[in-house]
Amino acid sequence: MVTEVNAILSSKLRRKIPVVAFAGKSGVGKTTLLEKVVRELKIRGLRVAVIKHSHHDIEIDQPGKDSWRFARAGSDVVAISSPGKL
C-alpha cells in the first residue's frame, strides 16, 4: 500500500504546474484582470490558486479586498504572503 501511494505521489510531483505572474503599479487593474483570468480558467475546468504578495500585514477575506475578490471569482485557493504571515 505504501509503495502504491509513493508511486502515485511521485508521478503527481513530476508533473509541471503552469505558473503565471502579474505585476504592476498600484491602481493599474491587476486585480480586475486577474478576476477575469480566474473566471475564464475555471470555465475551462482548471484548478486555480492565487498568491498575493503584500508589503504590509493584512487580513485575508475582508470584503472588497483582493483576496476576497479572488475567492469570489472562483479561485480554489487564495494565499497572502506578507512580512508577518503566509
User: CA-to-CA distance for 41 and 56, rounded, in angstroms?
Assistant: 29
Helix, coil or strand: residue 25 = coil
β partners of residue 14: none
Nearest Cα to Cα of residue 48 among 78, 86, 80, 11? 78
Model confidence over 27-84: pLDDT tens digits? 999 999 999 999 999 999 999 999 988 776 666 667 878 889 999 999 999 988 878 7
Q: What is the DSSP string of 45-76?
A: T---EEEEE-SS---TT-TTSHHHHHHHHT-S
Model confidence over 63-76: pLDDT tens digits? 878 889 999 999 99
Q: What is the pTM of this model?
A: 0.73
Q: Give kind and range of the element (H or E) at residue 79.
A: strand 77-81
